[in-house]
Amino acid sequence: MGAWGNESCSSDSCWDNLWAKDIHNMTQKEADNSLAKTFAQKIASDDSDGFAAQLGVVIWVLRQGLKVEKKYLTAAKNITLLLLGSKEYLKCWNEPKERLAHLKRESKEITEAIKNGGVGKKEHILGLMGKIAKSLA
């Protein structure tokens, strides 16, 4: 996996599972397709990259302001709990405290989306170059 950020939606494993012409302007149909394909993949119980990809796609779709079915939100919420409880998982990160903070934020986003009928709050997501520029500012 070529992770390039501490957020679940900031990794190659997430982006490889976004099936859209333009991932920054996904349609609801493209979001639904991405979620269905990602969650249809078999994931071993110890495959944190696979779980992170599923979580990443859910977070990406929510941050596009699109709707996520409750079954995917529930699965993503369970993934956050699994990853938050895994010291081994967090040890793999260069900045485990930042990753932990992002997981907690993502867990709250999922909870809010569940309360909001599955719809996320639209948010601009910086790409790699945007993150580099922001860090240099």
Instruction: Convert the pLDDT of each residue in 9-27 to its tens digit.
Output: 988 889 899 999 999 899 9
Average pLDDT over the chain, rounded to an integer: 87
Which whole number is the average pLDDT over 19-38? Answer: 95
What pLDDT, on a 0 to 100 scale, did the predictor assign at position 127? 54
Q: How many other CB atoms are there within 10 angstroms of residue 44's CB atom?
A: 8
Joined together, the tokens standing for residue 61 give 């779709």
Give the number of other Cβ atoms within 10 Å of residue 73's Cβ.
22
Confidence band for 1, pLDDT divided at 50, 70 and 90: very low
Query: In this predicted structure, what is the pLDDT of residue 13?
Result: 85
- Residue 79 near residue 73, CB atoms below 8 Å: no
Rg (CA), the chain: 14
118: left (phi over 0), alpha (psi -120 to 50) or beta: left
The residues near 16 (Cβ < 8 Å, ≥ 6 apart) are 53
How far apart, in Å, do the first and last CA atoms of the chain sit?
A: 28
Q: Which of 34, 97, 37, 89 is nearest to 61 (CA)?
A: 34
Q: Over range 104-120, report the average pLDDT.
A: 95
